[in-house]
Structure 1
Amino acid sequence: MANQAMVCCEDTVSLKEDKLKIGVVDRTFGDIDSHEPRPQRDYLTEIVCDDSIPKAKFESFLRSGVPPRDTALVSWQTENNVELIPVDKLEVLDRALYVGDVVKRNQKDAMSGTVVGNKTICSLLPAARSENYEIPPGLDELVTIHNVPSSELLNVHAYNEGALVVYKDWVGKIEDVFDEVAVRLSNNSVVVVEDPEELVLDGPHTSLRASSYERWYVGDIVKTKKYNLRRGKWIYGSFNPNIRPQGIVVQVRTIRVTVRWLARRFGRDPTHSNAWEPPTVLELDELESPEFRIYDASGAVADMLPHQENGAGPSYHVAEVCVGDRVRFKDVVRAAAKYDEPLRLPNNLPQGKLQLIPRTETLGYDMNVYMVAQTHSRVMVQWQDLTVTEESAKLLVPDHNVGDEDEVWPGEIVFTREEHKETEPELQWTNSPAKVGIVQAIKSRDRIATVRWFDSPLIRYFQHDLIPPTRTGELKPETEDVSLYDIQSHTTITRRRGDFVIIHKNPSEDSSNSAHDWFGEVVDLGLDGKLVVRLGASPVVRDVKVSYEDVTLVYSGDDELYPLADGIDGEPVGSSDDGVSGSDEYEEMWIEYEGMDGEPINSGDEHDWSTEEEDGADDDEEDESMPDLEPPESRSRPGSESPTDISSTHIDLNGDHSLSRGPVGASTEPPSVPAGAPPNLPDLNTEKLSPFVVLDTQPPSNHHYLHESPAVQSKILKRIAKEHKILRTSLPPGILVRTWESRLDLIRVLMIGPSDTPYEFAPFMIDLHVGASYPLEPPRAYFHSWTDGMGPVNPNLYEDGKICLSLLGTWHTDEHNESWSPDKSTLLQVLVSIHSLVLVKEPYYNEAGFDIHRGAPETKLNSALYTERAYFRARAFIVYALTHPSVVDPFRQELEYMYLRQWDNSPQLLNKAIAAAKEILVRSETDGDEERDGLRRISRGATVMLKRQVEQLEKLERQTLSY
């Protein structure tokens, strides 16, 4: 028995028990991009729920927008309602896949492929009946026309929002379309209504419209107010107040569009009139001008286009249709002859006859408009190993790892991460890769790419811009196998199928404005280093081959596929009306601290790890001075008050952080390591590793917030003193904190990654600033990334220093994430959250919305790939910290002690890091059935990188044998 196809957004589905009930999937549990809260806002009709789904789960969905696992939200096209329903009650009829989409046969598969071509056949319903102007109430098989290739169809609207257009020397994107709508009333009079927005759908599909006005189609049954008719432009007849203001749309004509202009043609004299940016609003005269063209690849017949280099057949089909679209036949007369008589199809469905509606019955208007009821697609896929297969679209799944920065596909241009050292002083601010090449094939499971390098390329770039002159040149004949982690596809020059580009040199001699042969769409990536670009705005659509450096990206569909989530000031995702926070289980969550060797610290006496709120009288206490870091032979500073003994801290992740005042001790020594700590845990009470110290030196010059104005208000200083009291005695092992007498608002933190995570034994440094608005606003935090441009080490720790954390106000909050509370939140909470909730074993699930997939079989591979990458990148942090001592001030001595000292009681983290990495390499290079988890067993491509890191660590080890 064939496996049930998984359900994805935009799938066309039917009920298993009722094949004629057809709909489109709007939301699924697995598609996090569909999880906008309050889904009811998208529909006029009330969302209903299948009886098998518990009421509590349905109510949660109506708040959060996240369908329960194994359910989907479906808009039924034939029943005109929206329903949350279990996926096992659905049958997938078709899946919307387009050229350039990255797919897999199964989410567990290592290999992905790119859709390079597709063929779609449709089932059509007449959108209007000539006798009574009614839309068919359901799938009436007697009138349904089956097996219609999409290449025979055109969208009923010539101008559509999002369409790309060329006007004079400019490329733009249509933002808004304004139509005039002609309505035929029951007395055969026709009027162009004054305001189309005053029309209301009055047919069977009313309930599916999210608003009273979207875009009107020929065949829509509408109603309006009488004044909207009276003030309209009458084509036939005149206003009659006795005629009901209801009728059928017989014509929709675009009279105006607004365009966002994207780019200008290269090579044109900037003083030429065509080089001036056109107006944002284009009227009918401009739209009908020969200088205006819509990018429309359907202007060519598919079988007249050239075959692709990969042998996939003609370049991808040129008409994309979806269920619910309104279409016309390109040649309705030929279609009428082709679909002339009813018959039985091979699947025993009756084939409806195409019955033309004569214009003589409709006052000359063309009412031969059809609604797409079903689609069935087959796609050509080029896999990463360069094989090409034809597949049923519904049996493939979108690859959710497509955004992976280390994923590449055949035909893409790639750079080595190693750079060429620029010798020209005036160009040393640019980046120049050591090698540039074209991917020939990929061994997905091994994370190895086969690459042909260009012979003498000249590529310089800065951020996202190429710096001219640029040259790729000729490819060398030989190939080389390299780790995927050693190369990158860079936005400066990488192009993918579906990208729209401007060609620098016109491919034809005709340089007139009407040629429009300088703009097109990338439809194929050649293994010879050339792009195939379709000139879809040219009067004769054709494909041309150009070099990567000869095109400039204008627009990519990926730019708008993943909109940003609501800002932190917006409505929290998953928030509820009654303000209920999280589940009881989450409310009771405790953090289990780990030592530097990763063993959990035993609980010991619970009172050692819980605190209560300090009483209000403490607010009036004078600020206490803080002990500083002194050499062993130095004495404590005179006048130091004994700190309050706060044994430990219990962190409540819902914001309840309180302190329990213990007896005032007579010693300034910090408290001992909690009972039950592993014997080989470094003694954090020693002066070498004091968890918290106030230094009498100046802050380091590389502190990110050094030049911020210091906080001098007494109220803030008192709050800082309280924070210091907590940090002084409550820091868990693995976190060291330093501040300065001269700048108590500045803090620097050193964290050692927890064991049994990809961050084990690695140091991470963070700068904090307590500003003038503290504690009303959270502290500002900056992460020092030492990956040298290799990419982020964690989804929440950006290379630019940003730390995504709800406590810091840089991450959206929901029922599982706390926000900053001026009364309850503390700096300690921030540090423990980073250490315990960010530096985790499976960082892949830290990505926004990914946590709901934790443990799901289909995400294990992607998680393992992220983990192995984080592991070897974190090894680079060890190397960097130990070879750049001035950067890590004031932790130079602490790092030397933890990593380099060979004393019996020293942590010797460098030795442990080397041993752990070697163990991973041995296990990964040994054949076995053990599943790769990215932490204890990694891919071949990752071993290449880890071996390189081990060599650098061993070099450091040899240099420090004298310690």
Structure 2
Amino acid sequence: MATQLHADDLVANRDDETELGIVERTHADVDTHTPHPARNDPDPIRPDRGVSRKLFDKFLKDGIPPPKTVFVRWQNKENATITLESRLKVLDRTLLIGDVVRRHARDAMSGVVINASTRCVLQPIGDIEFPGPRGNNKLKGLLPPSPPDSEYVRYHHPTSGTPPQLVDIPASELRHSDAVNEEDLFVYKDRLGRIEELDHNITLKLQDNSVVEIHQDSAENFGTDVERYTVGDIASAKKPALRLGKWIFGKYNPNTQPIGTVVDTRIVSAEVTWLQRRIGAPETEDPPTTLDSDDFESSDFHIYDRTRLPRRSPTHGSSDTVSYSQSDLDLGDSVRFKDLAGACVKYDGSTHHGKLERLDRQDTLGYDINVFHVVKFRTDVTVQWQDLSITHDPSISLVPDGAIDDEHAAWPGEIAHTLDFADVPGQRGMTQPSRVGVVQTVNSAERMVTLRWSDEGQMQYFDDPEDGLEYRTLITGVVGRAAGELQELSLYDVEAPGSMNVRRGDTVLLMNEALERRDGEAAADDFDWVGEIVDTCLDGTLTVRLGAAKEVRDVNVRREHVHVAVRSDGTDQPDEWDQGESDEDMESGEEYESTDEYISRRRGGEEYGTPGDPGYLHPDNTDDEYDGFSDNEDDESVQATYEDENGEPLDEDEVEDEDWESDVSGDEDVDMIDAPAVTPPSSHSVTPPQPNDRTSDETDPPISAERTSSGPPSYLVLETEPTSHHYASEDSPVSANQMKRIQKEHKILRSADSLPSGVYVRTWESRMDLVRVLFVGPAETPYADVPFVIDFYLSGTFPREPPQAFFHNWTAETSLGGVGPVNPNLYEDGKICLSLLGTWEGGKSEGWNAARSTLLQVIVSILGLVLVREPYFNEAGYEPLAGLESSKRPSALYNERTYLRANSFLVRAIDWINSPEDDSGCASIDGVKDVVRWLYKDADGKKLLKRRIEDVEAILEKSEGSTAESDGLTSMSKGACIPLRRALARLKEL
């Protein structure tokens, strides 16, 4: 059985293990699923054997590798490929300090990587022989991964053929061949910055021993594309560039072939991003974003080197949990030994490592070209698990924890607090929890956590509803040193705020209180105010390594004395999921053809390989045998049709760009139910059930509350004023055509059997443009028997634009475990993420269209696509995860916390209908209050409250004392049962 691969895995072709590559995309890694992957690829992407053209064409559009395939970038091939996982062997898995991992995808317990140890295989400099106009030429250098022509270029050692590789070399003994690299952090005066782009000159040693310095852009690749030349590379220069270059030895000779070895590089300038200013530094403008060579050579500039180690152990905390960084190496990197002389003694050929042969500088005009290519590596990691156990494992035996962010997850050393907030005396809008503590251990399977309380701990939030803030904002946080009692709690009864918590590998700035001075104030040029977190101690303090200081040292500091400058997981960067360019932007690019043109141009057999190649596909072959994905799956959007009310065809552009006008008066009875049937849009590219063709249980979602003739009507026009409606202050449409369309929407809604069961629509006689809808959660979902209220507004731009919608996210009781969103499509601030509402970019046929879309379709989409059995997969881009083994547990956990939050909704709704009529809290259910009372409380009603109580009791009976894993619907974890039992008591009380 093939091992599931992950992004950044180092893999080999099982048929030829000398072919190495890096996995760039997988079916399950949704973060890599950007569309149109060929757009910026310098060479055509190819399908490997067993991947049909149809699947490949689909990948070129959506960027999602089909199940059981991965997108691989090969070291010795120009073309990246879509390849079956079964044809690959994983050699190494890149795991960094601070990464969260599991042993298996279904494991409950996770751990944090606290150390990583990489061992490399190195290819040394050798003699490269290639033909020239006057016979063969020979240079010393590193052969590119893709030589220009293996028949004419030979790579060999003068005495033993191919230079022998060095094996099993610790990465801790190596450094990059260049002192400064892109993405390096650096300190410059009082600023912390990051290198974004480097502009280099390179020094070439030609065959006649002449040496010239030219700009890197004046050199051409020798065998493969390179973004940047490093020492040891072979480069071909343009003759005009050589003629105008800076000659260090010799002079320009037109008879010398313009190919040489890069023996040195020099930074000309660098584009940088300024990240932070030293705490307490004068507030001055940032330096320019371009630094030149003088800046790099000044004493004010210092690269932050994470591999520098202190002379002594940390002053506080357990030394076996302290992280020690090493060089972060990738396949093909050019490296040097930190101590070349010592390495020559250690690797003298007497061990399995091989023999290191040092190249004498006298033979290379004084230049040091003792560099090596990383051609293979393997990593072992040290992991601290949530139960505090520590293990040492090969990286390939672990899997990255790529589940959706779980706000109820926690790890040892994190700061957490209780959920019982109280006002801070004398400070308006400020609230604080009663207790603050530090996580000691976590039982993930049972969702329980052990905390050690801090007597000094205090966190204060700003939470003033009059200021219109949607969320609490952490203002101050003090932890001190936790030395109080231990207590076991449910994870649903605590919060670990992200703004207070850090992880190993984070770069931080120290406040003056945290700096341990030995001889008064440190010198101005001692960068001891910036460091890296190397341990998160169980008393709430942090061990920080001052890696830029003159003398590297580890200091133990309080959490409140540290400011996070750069988070190692990249969360300090802007999200990129919504920054992709649209199809129109893509097709308007001057240097890129449309995806269809790209596919069409590659339909010939030549573009798919040649006969005999492993990846060859015949042009007529569209039905290759493939295990894992069906070619019958339709990868094209449904073709929409457009007609006016008289049945005349409309052009889509006319519908989308022109005002919609009705030819029918408002008094005529128009039945839009008979409009052309078109696949309705979805929340996240999923097809909802058709509202007008519900002929089977498969197209109608199961609803808990079925309508009866004795109950409240499903559609009703109210004579009161809609003062509580979210859009009550918005202007009413004044256009006659708009009013006709609004009347038509209401005709559809009030038509017999148009609304699904469990849906109640209310509007107002004075404001027909305002609609309030009560949804009863469908059966066999976490939302079963729970009320949800959404307000709609048919604005002055309707129907050219979709209705506006607002979801009433009723504030939950924190003691019931109900804090947080109830669905990825339903935001706590009221936003609803749905392609039909224009708040999510779905397929072209899934968005709102004035001719064919209706408010009824929006309602059906919410019921059938949002309030679903497994809302985990409603998260943006998570559709490919459905059915994967790795998704079962995160989906169950999402259901569990959603079930708890849904209970809070029910408690709040019943509490409101039990309140006095003039209670302002009832505003959110004004207009449907009688429906809620009939559904849940009335003796002649549906008695859904009683049914929900019975459901909760059955879950508790099944869950408590059981060792079975929670599925989030019929059984719950121990941690969930604690707030669930409180919810049961509240429901019975109501």
**TM-score, length of structure 1 as denominator length:** 0.84
290 and 814 in structure 1: CA distance in 2 versus 1, 3 angstrom threshold: same
User: Shift of residue 449 of structure 1?
Assistant: 0.4
Q: Does 1:791 align with 2:848?
A: no
The Cα offsets for residues 773-820 of structure 1, whole Å up to 9 and x where unpaired, read as 3333222222221254811111111112221112122223249x8222
User: Shift of residue 481 of structure 1?
Assistant: 0.9
1:283 to 284, 292, 298: 292
Q: What's the C-alpha RMSD, in Å, of the aligned pairs? A: 3.5
Select between 136-145 and 119-128 the one with higher mean Cα deviation. 136-145
1:652 to 657, 676, 679: 679
Q: Letter of the aligned partner of 1:652 in structure 2? A: T
- Counting only pairs closer than 5 Å after superposition, residues 598-637 of structure 1 correspond to structure 2 as 614-615=645-646, 619-624=662-667
The Cα offsets for residues 93-139 of structure 1, whole Å up to 9 and x where unpaired, read as 11111110000000110000000112111111125648523534779
2:750 to 719, 728, 737: 728
User: Shift of residue 568 of structure 1?
Assistant: 8.2
- Counting only pairs closer than 5 Å after superposition, residues 503-542 of structure 1 correspond to structure 2 as 503-505=510-512, 506-508=515-517, 509-542=520-553
Q: Does 1:841 align with 2:869?
A: yes
User: Shift of residue 534 of structure 1?
Assistant: 1.4
User: Are the equivalent residues in 2 in contact too, given 1:868–1:935 (CA < 8 A)?
Assistant: yes
Q: Letter of the aligned partner of 1:523 in structure 2? A: V
Q: Does 1:385 align with 2:359?
A: no
Q: Distance in 1 between matches of 2:214 and 2:701?
A: 80
Q: What does residue 712 of structure 2 align with?
A: 689
User: Shift of residue 146 of structure 1?
Assistant: 0.8
Q: Does 1:223 align with 2:230?
A: no
Q: Letter of the aligned partner of 2:862 in structure 1? A: I
Secondary structure of the corresponding residue to residue 89 of structure 2: strand
The Cα offsets for residues 234-286 of structure 1, whole Å up to 9 and x where unpaired, read as 3233334444443332222223223222222223454xxxx553232222222
Aligned residue pairs total 878
User: Shift of residue 875 of structure 1?
Assistant: 0.8
Q: Distance in 2 between matches of 1:416 and 1:143?
A: 61
User: Are the equivalent residues in 2 in contact too, given 1:680–1:907 (CA < 8 A)?
Assistant: no
Q: Distance in 1 between matches of 2:866 and 2:417?
A: 30
- Counting only pairs closer than 5 Å after superposition, residues 502-581 of structure 1 correspond to structure 2 as 502-505=509-512, 506-508=515-517, 509-559=520-570, 563-566=575-578, 570-571=582-583, 577=596
Q: Distance in 1 between matches of 2:784 and 2:806?
A: 21
Select between 228-237 and 404-413 the one with higher mean Cα deviation. 228-237
User: Are the equivalent residues in 1 in contact too, given 2:704–2:779 (CA < 8 A)?
Assistant: no
Q: What does residue 245 of structure 2 align with?
A: 232
Q: Distance in 2 between matches of 1:70 and 1:409?
A: 32
User: Are the equivalent residues in 2 in contact too, given 1:120–1:150 (CA < 8 A)?
Assistant: yes
The Cα offsets for residues 502-552 of structure 1, whole Å up to 9 and x where unpaired, read as 111223243332221111121211001111111122122221111111111
Secondary structure of the corresponding residue to residue 807 of structure 1: helix
Q: Distance in 2 between matches of 1:127 and 1:435?
A: 61
Q: Letter of the aligned partner of 1:718 in structure 2? A: K
1:325 to 320, 323, 333: 333
What percentage of residue pairs aligned between the two structures are identical?
40
Q: Does 1:863 align with 2:854?
A: no
User: Shift of residue 327 of structure 1?
Assistant: 1.1
Select between 65-74 and 276-285 the one with higher mean Cα deviation. 276-285
User: Are the equivalent residues in 2 in contact too, given 1:412–1:494 (CA < 8 A)?
Assistant: yes
User: Shift of residue 332 of structure 1?
Assistant: 1.3
The Cα offsets for residues 810-851 of structure 1, whole Å up to 9 and x where unpaired, read as 223249x82222221221111111111111001111112222
Secondary structure of the corresponding residue to residue 899 of structure 2: helix
User: Are the equivalent residues in 2 in contact too, given 1:613–1:658 (CA < 8 A)?
Assistant: no
User: Are the equivalent residues in 2 in contact too, given 1:309–1:526 (CA < 8 A)?
Assistant: yes
User: Are the equivalent residues in 1 in contact too, given 2:454–2:480 (CA < 8 A)?
Assistant: yes
Select between 67-76 and 128-137 the one with higher mean Cα deviation. 128-137
User: Shift of residue 305 of structure 1?
Assistant: 4.5
384 and 651 in structure 1: CA distance in 2 versus 1, 3 angstrom threshold: farther
Secondary structure of the corresponding residue to residue 757 of structure 1: coil
User: Shift of residue 576 of structure 1?
Assistant: 6.3
Select between 108-117 and 891-900 the one with higher mean Cα deviation. 891-900
User: Are the equivalent residues in 1 in contact too, given 2:116–2:381 (CA < 8 A)?
Assistant: yes
User: Are the equivalent residues in 2 in contact too, given 1:614–1:661 (CA < 8 A)?
Assistant: no
**TM-score, length of structure 2 as denominator length:** 0.82
Q: Does 1:753 align with 2:777?
A: yes
Q: Distance in 2 between matches of 1:185 and 1:768?
A: 74
Q: Does 1:700 align with 2:723?
A: yes
Secondary structure of the corresponding residue to residue 191 of structure 1: strand
Q: Does 1:879 align with 2:922?
A: no
Q: Distance in 2 between matches of 1:81 and 1:648?
A: 49
User: Are the equivalent residues in 2 in contact too, given 1:614–1:659 (CA < 8 A)?
Assistant: no
Q: Distance in 2 between matches of 1:265 and 1:651?
A: 60
User: Shift of residue 659 of structure 1?
Assistant: 12
Q: Distance in 2 between matches of 1:376 and 1:887?
A: 58
1:336 to 334, 344, 348: 344
Q: What does residue 768 of structure 1 align with?
A: 792
- Counting only pairs closer than 5 Å after superposition, residues 96-245 of structure 1 correspond to structure 2 as 96-126=94-124, 129=127, 132-136=139-143, 142-194=163-215, 196-203=216-223, 205-206=224-225, 214-245=227-258
Q: Distance in 2 between matches of 1:797 and 1:866?
A: 14
Q: Letter of the aligned partner of 1:193 in structure 2? A: I
Q: Does 1:489 align with 2:496?
A: yes
Q: Does 1:952 align with 2:975?
A: no
1:252 to 239, 252, 265: 265
Q: Distance in 1 between matches of 2:172 and 2:698?
A: 73
Secondary structure of the corresponding residue to residue 478 of structure 2: coil
Q: What does residue 457 of structure 2 align with?
A: 457
The Cα offsets for residues 598-637 of structure 1, whole Å up to 9 and x where unpaired, read as xxxxxxxxxxxxx99843699222225xxxxxxxxxxxxx
User: Are the equivalent residues in 1 in contact too, given 2:119–2:377 (CA < 8 A)?
Assistant: yes
The Cα offsets for residues 856-894 of structure 1, whole Å up to 9 and x where unpaired, read as 222111110000100010111112223232222122222
Q: Distance in 2 between matches of 1:556 and 1:794?
A: 28
Secondary structure of the corresponding residue to residue 299 of structure 1: coil
Q: What does residue 925 of structure 2 align with?
A: 888
Mark the runs of 5 or more structure 1 residues left unpaired by the alignment. 346-350, 590-610, 625-640, 663-672, 957-963
Q: What does residue 714 of structure 1 align with?
A: 736
User: Are the equivalent residues in 2 in contact too, given 1:96–1:322 (CA < 8 A)?
Assistant: no
User: Shift of residue 399 of structure 1?
Assistant: 0.4
704 and 806 in structure 1: CA distance in 2 versus 1, 3 angstrom threshold: same
Secondary structure of the corresponding residue to residue 886 of structure 1: helix
Q: Distance in 2 between matches of 1:223 and 1:742?
A: 79
User: Shift of residue 149 of structure 1?
Assistant: 0.9
Q: What does residue 604 of structure 1 align with?
A: none
User: Shift of residue 455 of structure 1?
Assistant: 1.5
User: Are the equivalent residues in 2 in contact too, given 1:422–1:432 (CA < 8 A)?
Assistant: yes
873 and 246 in structure 1: CA distance in 2 versus 1, 3 angstrom threshold: same
Q: Distance in 2 between matches of 1:28 and 1:586?
A: 18
587 and 61 in structure 1: CA distance in 2 versus 1, 3 angstrom threshold: closer
User: Are the equivalent residues in 2 in contact too, given 1:117–1:317 (CA < 8 A)?
Assistant: yes
The Cα offsets for residues 14-47 of structure 1, whole Å up to 9 and x where unpaired, read as 2233232222112222211122222223432332
User: Are the equivalent residues in 2 in contact too, given 1:417–1:790 (CA < 8 A)?
Assistant: no
User: Shift of residue 5 of structure 1?
Assistant: 4.1
Q: What does residue 132 of structure 2 align with?
A: none
Q: Distance in 2 between matches of 1:367 and 1:806?
A: 57
661 and 297 in structure 1: CA distance in 2 versus 1, 3 angstrom threshold: closer
Q: Distance in 2 between matches of 1:519 and 1:287?
A: 19
